[in-house]
């Protein structure tokens, strides 16, 4: 599996960061788009490994993710491939006996800077998030510096950690939310 080098900054103001990204020379690759994904748990809940099928608007990806250290910049490993049909891919995995754990959606705007992907993400019930992904720890640190951020303010790990911090919801309970969308966030989180 490939190591993912990723840092998040939360919360952020999307309008301010659009200007910061543009001033740093970043190029908008995809306007804000509603992403939808389904998660299939692999193994029992004590193993932080899952399969994700994500409709990204222009592409659909299949990713196996594994958390090896939830608080480190290099704590997630993944294998990702593209497919051409979200529904058929989900049907394939379900016909193989995989049980859908949850459906999730978020809005994502994608920028490219120095051959790296930077996203402005909005998840149901959370303030916007800036996510910086690079080829190495040093590369991510260089991007952080280029965007006038401080590495000590970075957050690492998967999105469920932000929900845990904001709502006190256990990781187990978050991972068992069957349908996380902008329409269901108020009834789930009460906000």
Q: Would you list the DSSP string of 26-67?
A: -EEEEEEEEEEEEEEE-S-TTS-EEEEEEE-SS-EEEEEEEE
Is pLDDT of 42 > 90?
no
Say if 189 falls within a structural domain. Answer: no
Say if 172 falls within a structural domain. Answer: yes
Say if 165 falls within a structural domain. Answer: yes
Say if 188 falls within a structural domain. Answer: no
0.85 surpassed by pTM: yes
pLDDT tens-place string over residues 44-80 = 665 688 999 999 988 999 999 998 898 899 999 999 9
Read off the pLDDT band of 175 (50, 70, 90): confident
Is pLDDT of 150 > 70?
yes
The count of other CB atoms within 10 Å of the CB of residue 121 is 21
Please tell me the predicted confidence (pLDDT) of residue 48: 81
Please tell me the predicted confidence (pLDDT) of residue 122: 98
Domain count, the chain: 1
Say if 190 falls within a structural domain. Answer: no
Tell which residue, 102, 150, 113, 90, has the closest CA to residue 28. 113
């Amino acid at each position: 599996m490939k190591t993912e080098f990723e840092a998040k900054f939360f919360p952020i103001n999307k309008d301010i960061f659009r200007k910061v990204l543009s001033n740093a020379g970043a190029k908008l690759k995809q306007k804000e788009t509603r992403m939808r994904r389904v998660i299939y748990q692999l193994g029992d809940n004590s193993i932080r490994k899952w399969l994700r099928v994500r409709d990204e608007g222009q592409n659909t990806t299949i990713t196996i993710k594994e958390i090896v250290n939830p608080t480190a910049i290099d704590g997630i490993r993944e294998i990702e491939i593209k497919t051409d049909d979200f529904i058929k891919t989900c049907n394939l995995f379900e016909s193989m006996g995989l049980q859908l754990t949850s459906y999730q959606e978020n809005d994502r705007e994608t920028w490219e800077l120095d051959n790296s992907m930077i996203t402005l993400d909005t998840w149901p019930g959370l303030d916007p998030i800036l996510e910086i992904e690079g080829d190495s720890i040093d590369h991510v640190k260089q991007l952080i510096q280029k965007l006038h951020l401080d590495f000590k303010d970075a957050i690492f790990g998967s999105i469920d950690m932000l929900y845990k911090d904001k709502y006190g919801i256990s990781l187990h309970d978050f991972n068992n939310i069957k349908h996380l969308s902008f329409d269901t966030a108020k009834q789930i989180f009460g906000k």
